[in-house]
Amino acid sequence: MKVLKASNYDDMSRKVANIISAQVILKPDARLGLATGTTPIGAYKQLINWYEKGDIDFSEVSTYNLDEYRGLGKDDPQSYRYFMDHTFFDHINIDKARTHVPDGTNPDAAAACAAYDKLVKSAGYTDLQLLGIGRNGHIGFNEPSDVFSKGTHCVDLTPSTIEANARLFDKAEDVPRQAYTMGVQTIMHAEMILVAASGADKAEAVRNMIEGPVTPECPASILQLHTNCVVVADDKALSQCTSMASV
Ligand code: PGA
């Protein structure tokens, strides 16, 4: 695990965007695993800016998002498909047919998850998987548990995740209680993993991810075992880490 220190959110966003941009320049038909949430918004804005300047071409890129709320479709402003379209895809020259998000509208959870898993696997998994980290150490919607998950599956969101995501909804009751998410094993198949973290509310999770034992109680801790994992975190997110050397 390589840890890159950023001075603040904007610096973190530029570093993350630089790494994604390098991936697309080196491999124009790259398969990018993408994430939603507040953390990657600045990186997506930076990538849009470089696209507008003619520095990046997304025409051959394919994307695979980590997760989607169960029951929400592309027209629902709270869905992750809507987020990706409006925050990123609608502003770059990506072929929408190559952008993938689990199908939250399929009420058959087993079928929706199996189809998504098959899709990601048959594509050969991702070249680069971007991840945020939850305050409880979750990656995607893989919540703390007593086992690491494998393929795409339906999860019950924990109270802490519902509370963290409530800020994006009118009322906490509106936050869906379930989601379809890539499993930890699927995420670990990525050639490279890029974790972005910003802010003091992530400091404990970031410490557990980098310095804690590898345990499903902190799903992100498994990333210590990935052979090509880069963490870009700002000062506040790294404030509880005791060692800042690459580990
Ligand atoms: P955030 O979410 O970027 O909105 O903090 C990250 C996550 O929960 O994975």
Strand-pairing partners, residue 131, are 195
Given 103, 117, 127, 143, which residue is catalytic?
143
Task: Give the tens place of pLDDT for each residue, 108-151.
Answer: 999 999 999 999 999 999 999 999 999 999 999 999 999 999 99
Verify whether residue 138 is a known catalytic residue: yes
> How sure is the predictor about 100, in pLDDT bands with cuts at 50, 70 and 90?
very high
Q: Return the half-sphere exposure (C-beta side, CA atoms, 13 A cut-off) of residue 143.
A: 15
> Which residues touch 92 (CB under 8 Å, ≥6 apart)?
47, 48, 51, 56, 58
Distances (CA, A) of 73 to 9, 55, 117: 30, 32, 19
Task: Give the tens place of pLDDT for each residue, 180-224.
Answer: 999 999 999 999 999 999 999 999 999 999 999 999 999 999 999
Verify whether residue 226 is a known catalytic residue: no
Taking the centre of ligand 1 as the mean of its atom positions, its distance from the CA of residue 133, in whole angstroms, is 6
Which of 12, 34, 38 has the most ligand 1 atoms within 8 A of CB, as the residue to mutate?
38
Annotate 143-178 with DSSP letters as a single string: -S-SS---SSEEEEPPHHHHHHHGGGSSSGGGS-SE
pLDDT > 70: percent of the chain: 98
Residues in the chain, overall count: 247
Tokens of 27: 């491999």
DSSP 237: T
Taking the centre of ligand 1 as the mean of its atom positions, its distance from the CA of residue 38, in whole angstroms, is 6
Q: For the whole prediction, is pTM greater than 0.75?
A: yes
- Reported as type and span, the H/E element at residue 181 is strand 178-181
Regarding the beta carbon of 134 and ligand 1, being less than 6 Å apart is answered yes
CA distance 116 to 243: 38
Task: Give the tens place of pLDDT for each residue, 45-88.
Answer: 999 999 999 999 999 999 999 999 999 999 999 999 999 999 99
CA distance 141 to 101: 13
Regarding the beta carbon of 133 and ligand 1, being less than 6 Å apart is answered yes
Does the pLDDT at position 247 exceed 60? no
DSSP 102: -
CA distance 203 to 206: 5
Tokens of 204: 């404990």
- In 3-state terms, what secondary structure has residue 57? coil
CA distance 34 to 65: 5
Q: What is the pLDDT of residue 244?
A: 65
Q: What is the pLDDT of residue 7?
A: 97
The residue ranking higher by pLDDT, 33 or 159, is 33
The radius of gyration of the chain's CA atoms, rounded to the nearest angstrom, is: 17
Which residue in 73, 131, 127, 125 sits closest to 102, CA to CA? 73
Regarding the beta carbon of 38 and ligand 1, being less than 6 Å apart is answered yes
